Structure 1
């Protein structure tokens, strides 16, 4: 069955023999391990590895562009880049304004992190603006405190502005592990969204199909699962 899926995906990738085109990949560069800027000033992380491999399989020349999260969808629509690859969860609300590929990161847990075990999760909770976590907090009965960058949401807990931060658990893990006990997970994990996908302008159907075929081929031959385990650990959900 896997061989059949792989053959189908590769056929979709190579069909048409279209001339190579340059595609700009837009990411935030501030959400490790999904994406971040390394010591050489280059985009790095799970999405850099996956994005480069997707472009190779789709026979596309790709360039990386960084953009602040709070304007990442408007700047896709205005043509500053062609694809969003920035840890963006697939949601019905976002699907009204952009189109998504098949997911390349499965639905995963969001979690609360606080500076004390008895943190009031109905109090002030920090989250990054425009995220599904911010939407969840706003509807949870807690007081939402939004910030433009993910690091600021952690800082709000450290300095006492917020009782806890709510974000992707995979993003929060390194902060907890490196805090020497100053930060800890509290409350229950929450699964939100339909996994992480690439975002496209709704008119770019052909480009979306090329990338979706490439994602399917990475799933079929195990390359995507290998990248997931490399960047998120052996316990991460797999395809």
Structure 2
């Protein structure tokens, strides 16, 4: 009997240890600074890398980072190539039909137009955007002609080479491009707020994992850590919780 009790206790401790060390594969694009990018060491970096690592620490999970192209990021999640999407993905009704989202870890983002001239035609001209984004969907419904590209860099390049009159993207992504362009780029049109904020996307069946991340996000909101990271990566004027 004593041997049985000791064996049961050992199994319980082993199971508890395994649960605490559960590995979660965090899927991201690695091409959308300052949300996520690949640094000089070849590692995932940026706001979402810091947020994701802190969330995993608080949820007692081990994180592994996986990069993938944006246009296949949802199919690869559903195929089991990773367990979460943490890639600047805004919460929308359309995406919520195929994914589950945590509560947002970033407020509803402001999107903006950048062009070579401030009077660029963003209402009926040609506007570039990254494929599969809420920005591309907005342009398609705005009356302008949307020109979609696989990466955000390509959507910016389309303006430089004359394929598009303007690019429409998260303003946080465009700010350094406009600021560091030496006058090449200007803001055009009006800013637009889209989506319900940025959340972690995951498979609908992973309810327990979603609950863990939801709880961890809430603690980061409650103690101010999330606002600190937002300000660090997006500046003191960034919208916070």
Provide TM-score, normalisation by structure 2: 0.92
Aligned length: 224
Q: CA deviation at 1:19?
A: 3.5
Other-structure match for 2:114: 113
Separation (CA, whole Å) in 2 of partners of 1:25 and 1:187: 35
CA shift, 1:117, in A, is 1.6
> Per-residue CA shift, 1:100-132, capped at 9, x if unaligned?
000000012100000012211120000000000
Structure 2: 5+ residue stretches without partners: 1-15
Q: Secondary structure at 2:40's aligned position in 1?
A: coil
3-state SS of paired residue (1:110): strand
Question: Higher relative contact order by CA 8 Å / sep ≥ 6: 1 or 2?
Answer: 1
Larger Rg: 2
Partners of 1:118 and 1:109 lie apart in 2 by 20
Task: Find out whether 1:223 has 2:213 as its counterpart.
Answer: no
The equivalent of 1:48 in structure 2 is 49
C-alpha contact (below 8 Å) 2:36/2:47 kept by paired residues: yes
Whole-Å separation in 2 of the counterparts to 1:215 and 1:137: 31
Runs of 5+ consecutive residues of structure 1 not aligned to the other structure = 1-15
Aligned twin of 1:82:
83
| Aligned-CA RMSD value | 1.0
The runs of at least 4 aligned residues of structure 1 exceeding 4 Å deviation read none
**Secondary structure in 2 aligned to 1:73?**
helix
Aligned to 1:5: none
Mapped to 2, the partners of 1:28 and 1:184 lie a distance apart of 26
TM-score by length of 1: 0.92
2:119–2:189 contact (8 Å) kept in structure 1: no
